[in-house]
């Protein structure tokens, strides 16, 4: 198996067909303006799904234009909002007919080949692009930037639309150490400038709406896919969202936003938190949450669900067709249901398998594939347990036996009720005998394995990993799939091999949809 890249793909290997069709039809037929949010954790497949939808829409009819904006590539731009709107405008210019190339990526038509109507459209779009550099920007300076070094550093951090609508400037001035008379003067100055900016924004919005109608017709639509907002600095992600809200609410426009909602919450905190917490009478809470902020922008939220075990198995099979059934099922049983996490785990597995073959020989059975897969998942998803394993080689054997002896019911997982696990101290009697002795003891666990034995809800994925397959189907040799029966030295070989890969703190992701 070749090592796997982290690139998005339009090949549907994640069973996204129904999601894809629904989003495509909504983007193409729903009333506009409309903003669709595609929400999911890091690496969950948002980009791939959005690319599939764009691939279905792009170039199908002249009246539908699709454009892609990768936000994080412009993250360091002084004005990310401007780069975003310029990218949107690019989708409206007349371009050459090039098969299988997105419209915005095609070469523009030379001036000599433009019709009179197209020349007029180009002039209109050029005027819009130029207007973006003339519009007052409250974060870039200009006439309305005042002398913030005189006014106070914290004042400078507040966005203009907040400054323009604040009341009680005397209290505000007192909070930041500013002379009240100067504060009132600044307030009047800002309000005047803000009204000028609003007029400019309204003019831009009207001209942009006219450009869409002229280029795409009365029934045409521009579909803008905004990806990788969750890779941006949080405050930059908010900047793009505010551009959508302030500039792009015109008929015929559909936005499809891919992001992690947590990024928006951090963005609201980064953009407004410092200031509002210093206002008199504030108890530390922001006046708006990330969810509330999104509700004002996104009309249709779509949450990408976690993959089920069957989907994981199919996905893994497509990535590595040569993997044995039992090893594939080990990965499907225990890996976080996240496409990026799956690829990372498979790459690590292949690296360690190569090292083991070089060390023991390609035909040797010292390192079994299913147990190596379990080792990779423990090392990458449960790094604290892996560190404990390094000190006490029998620890996974003991957990395997404990989880096997007491299977937790769905009711226990949901309610947290059930017979508590008993005390296990390491080191004690070795192996399953120590666990059996501990299970007869009353009370909560006190040893190093206490959390793994007591908190079965948190470690339900770990328990499923260690108890697959059933003990009677454990296999042998290179296909051995259970740690039971291995010696301390044999267990240590897996721990030592996994040490070749740095153990990172795992990113929080969902459990499988069917777990």
pLDDT given for residue 105 in this prediction: 80
pLDDT band at 346 (very low <50, low <70, confident <90, very high): very high
- Three-state secondary-structure class, residue 485: coil
The DSSP annotation for 271-322 comes to: HHHHHHTTSTT--S--SS-HHHHHHTT-SEEEEPPPPPHHHHHHHHHHH-TT
pLDDT band at 443 (very low <50, low <70, confident <90, very high): low
The 10s digit of each residue's pLDDT in 317-340 is 988 888 999 999 999 999 999 999
Using the predicted structure, report yes or no on whether residue 41 has a pLDDT greater than 70. Answer: yes
pLDDT given for residue 501 in this prediction: 76
pLDDT band at 76 (very low <50, low <70, confident <90, very high): confident
Using the predicted structure, report yes or no on whether residue 368 has a pLDDT greater than 90. Answer: yes
Using the predicted structure, report yes or no on whether residue 43 has a pLDDT greater than 60. Answer: yes
Average the pLDDT over 240-252 and give the result. 80
Average the pLDDT over 357-369 and give the result. 88
The 8-class DSSP code of residue 470 comes to -
**Among the listed residues 408, 404, 410, 433, the one whose alpha carbon sits nearest the alpha carbon of residue 419:** 408
Q: Which residue has the higher pLDDT, 298 or 182?
A: 298
Return the residue matching tokens 């360091």: 76
Query: φ, ψ for residue 146 (rounded to 5)?
Result: 50, -175
pLDDT band at 155 (very low <50, low <70, confident <90, very high): very low
Using the predicted structure, report yes or no on whether residue 185 has a pLDDT greater than 80. Answer: no
The 10s digit of each residue's pLDDT in 464-498 is 999 999 999 999 999 999 999 999 999 999 999 99
Using the predicted structure, report yes or no on whether residue 110 has a pLDDT greater than 70. Answer: yes
Tokens of 460: 């339900």
Burial classification of residue 35, based on how many CB atoms lie within 10 Å of its CB (0-12 exposed, 13-18 middle, 19 or more buried): buried
Q: Is it true that the peptide bond before 362 is cis, omega within 30 degrees of 0?
A: no
Average pLDDT, the chain: 79
pLDDT given for residue 14 in this prediction: 82
- In whole angstroms, how far apart are CA 157 and each of 82, 94, 142, 271, 294? 20, 40, 15, 8, 22
Using the predicted structure, report yes or no on whether residue 60 has a pLDDT greater than 80. Answer: no
Q: Which residue has the higher pLDDT, 379 or 425?
A: 379
The 10s digit of each residue's pLDDT in 200-223 is 677 888 888 888 888 888 888 999
Helix axes 17-29, 46-57, angle to 10 degrees: 50
Q: Which of 19-23, 170-174, 302-306, 360-364 has the lowest mean pLDDT?
A: 170-174
The proportion of the chain whose per-residue pLDDT surpasses 70, expressed as a percent, equals: 72
């Amino acid at each position: 198996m070749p090592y796997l890249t982290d690139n998005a793909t339009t090949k549907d290997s994640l069973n996204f067909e129904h999601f894809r069709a629904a989003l495509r039809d909504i983007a193409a037929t729903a009333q506009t303006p409309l903003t669709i949010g595609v929400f999911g954790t890091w690496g969950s497949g948002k980009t791939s799904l959005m690319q599939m939808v764009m691939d279905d829409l792009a170039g199908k009819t002249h009246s539908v234009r699709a454009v892609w904006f990768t936000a994080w590539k412009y993250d360091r731009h002084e004005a990310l909002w401007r780069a975003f709107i310029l990218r949107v405008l690019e989708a409206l210019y007349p371009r050459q007919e090039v098969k299988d190339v997105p419209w915005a990526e095609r070469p523009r038509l030379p001036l000599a080949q433009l019709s009179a109507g197209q020349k007029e459209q180009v002039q209109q779009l050029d005027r819009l692009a130029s207007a973006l550099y003339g519009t007052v920007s409250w974060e870039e300076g200009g006439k309305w930037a005042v002398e913030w070094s005189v006014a106070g550093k914290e004042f400078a951090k507040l966005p203009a639309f907040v400054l323009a609508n604040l009341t009680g400037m005397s209290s505000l001035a007192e909070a930041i150490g500013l002379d009240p008379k100067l504060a009132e003067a600044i307030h009047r100055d800002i309000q005047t400038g803000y009204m000028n900016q609003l007029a400019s924004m309204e003019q831009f919005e009207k001209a942009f709406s006219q450009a869409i109608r002229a280029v795409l017709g009365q029934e045409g639509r521009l579909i803008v896919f905004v990806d990788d907002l969750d890779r941006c600095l949080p405050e930059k992600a908010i900047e793009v969202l505010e551009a959508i809200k302030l500039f792009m609410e015109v008929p015929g426009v559909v936005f499809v936003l891919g992001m992690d909602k947590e990024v928006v919450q951090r963005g609201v905190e980064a953009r407004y938190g410092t200031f509002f917490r210093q206002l008199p009478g504030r108890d530390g809470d922001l006046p708006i949450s990330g969810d509330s902020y999104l509700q004002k922008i996104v009309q249709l939220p779509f949450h990408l669900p976690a993959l089920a075990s069957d989907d994981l198995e199919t996905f893994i099979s497509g990535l590595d067709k040569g993997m044995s059934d039992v090893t594939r099922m080990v990965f499907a049983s225990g890996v976080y249901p996240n496409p990026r996490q799956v690829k990372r785990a498979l790459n690590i597995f292949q690296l360690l398998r190569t090292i083991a073959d070089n060390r023991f020989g390609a035909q040797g059975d010292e390192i079994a594939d299913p147990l190596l897969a379990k080792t990779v998942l423990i090392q990458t998803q449960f790094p604290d347990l892996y560190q404990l394993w390094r000190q006490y080689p029998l620890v996974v054997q003991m957990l395997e036996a404990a989880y096997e002896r007491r299977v937790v019911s769905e009711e226990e997982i949901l309610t947290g009720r059930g017979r508590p696990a008993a005390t296990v101290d390491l080191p004690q009697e070795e192996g399953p005998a120590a666990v059996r002795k501990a299970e007869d003891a009353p009370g909560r666990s006190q040893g190093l394995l206490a959390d793994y034995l007591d908190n079965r809800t948190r470690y339900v994925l770990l328990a499923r990993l260690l108890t697959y397959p059933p003990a009677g189907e454990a296999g042998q040799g290179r296909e051995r799939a259970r740690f039971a029966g291995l010696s301390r030295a044999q267990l240590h070989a897996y721990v030592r091999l996994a040490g070749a890969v740095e153990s990172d703190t795992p990113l929080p992701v969902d459990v499988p949809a069917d777990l």
